[in-house]
Structure 1
């Protein structure tokens, strides 16, 4: 579930107002469009030339949910290559939501979702919010239809989205949905266990991990 983290992003209307921050990680095989999805969401652009993420990229955006509440999503874009999975799994345990992405024109990326789920079970919090996303639905050569994607999501008890990073279809809706859920989950946890200290997340430790990876050349900050 979502945990409130203090961030330094102001709401714009009032500089003294600090937004709650939630960490969202995108995972999936290389070339499924994770980076393009995040660029579509944060910048409203689609990259002309593909560049594989080398380790972890970070970006952020304020999102307005119900009752005009604004929260900040810090978005962690992970590399899909097998050789760096041990690096990226370090970030799973501190995430509020994980977005699993496959390319609906490449069956192997769809079949890889099960191995990504295994990694989540091993490294993430048991109550982390998960969403399965079929990307590239603008393309004609789809080999996985919506029904098959929905069946996979149902198997894992996850919501399912179809998106196109190129056209922007459902991109904003996806991340607004994620933001709404993690905020609701956080409020539920606070009501259920108001005095419980969250031992899962430390902003300092999260940033320290990032600094270590940046020194090693794994982490690149986008904004």
Structure 2
């Protein structure tokens, strides 16, 4: 039986084939890692919940998209119904880094007039000797795109949890500010049976003060 959740966020993983999107998802959702992974065909689905703050459980619907060009027509249909995206590249493969802007542009164009919350993920940080992209370069790209940057390793379980949690928190904070909300016909964000009334951080603090007897 599914545990009650306040909100559901649909998040999509984006990036070239072989960057390790499936490995990240399996580590995050199942806590396992495998050196052998079959290429994703079309779209795979995963799920996990995160406790963002006391009394607020976010269910994450996680969509793993195929990086190959021949599946692009399938995966683009999932962009519009997603609220968050992990832009993943392989730190040991320069081409996958160079393609990040293309992924960002393609998704952003498909979801107009809406927008998606992104995080840039440099994967396979355990392979430091084979590294082809420096942290400075990646942080510069993240700054240009206006997103956070995290380096992860599914193999070593390094920063995997942090990457998904940062993105979830960013979406949640934008909901508090009223910049993201549930909409009819859109699956990016859904309210659960016990949805919480959200207030901006400052207003939340004032309400808590006034409630203290």
Q: TM-score, normalised by structure 1?
A: 0.78
5+ long unaligned stretches in structure 1: 1-7, 11-16, 204-223
SS at match of 2:136: helix
Which residue, 92, 100, 120 being the options, matches 1:132? Answer: 120
Q: How does 1:28-47 map to 2 (within 5 A)?
A: 28-47=15-34
| Cα 1:20–1:143 shift into 2, 3 Å | same
Other-structure match for 1:9: 2
How far the C-alpha of 1:20 sits from its partner, in A, is: 1.4
| Cα 1:65–1:108 shift into 2, 3 Å | same
Which residue, 133, 138, 149 being the options, matches 1:144? Answer: 133
How far the C-alpha of 1:50 sits from its partner, in A, is: 2.0
How far the C-alpha of 1:121 sits from its partner, in A, is: 1.8
CA distance in 2, matches of 1:18, 1:164: 28
Other-structure match for 1:50: 37
Other-structure match for 1:113: 100
CA distance in 2, matches of 1:128, 1:41: 21
Q: How does 1:154-165 map to 2 (within 5 A)?
A: 154-165=143-154
5+ long unaligned stretches in structure 2: 189-213
CA distance in 2, matches of 1:84, 1:73: 23
Aligned length: 186
How far the C-alpha of 1:200 sits from its partner, in A, is: 5.6
| Cα 1:202–1:27 shift into 2, 3 Å | closer
SS at match of 2:31: coil
Is the CA contact (8 Å cut-off) linking 1:79 and 1:88 kept in structure 2? Answer: yes
Other-structure match for 2:156: 167
How far the C-alpha of 1:156 sits from its partner, in A, is: 0.8
How far the C-alpha of 1:172 sits from its partner, in A, is: 0.5
Other-structure match for 1:201: 186
Q: How does 1:26-105 map to 2 (within 5 A)?
A: 26-67=13-54, 69-105=56-92
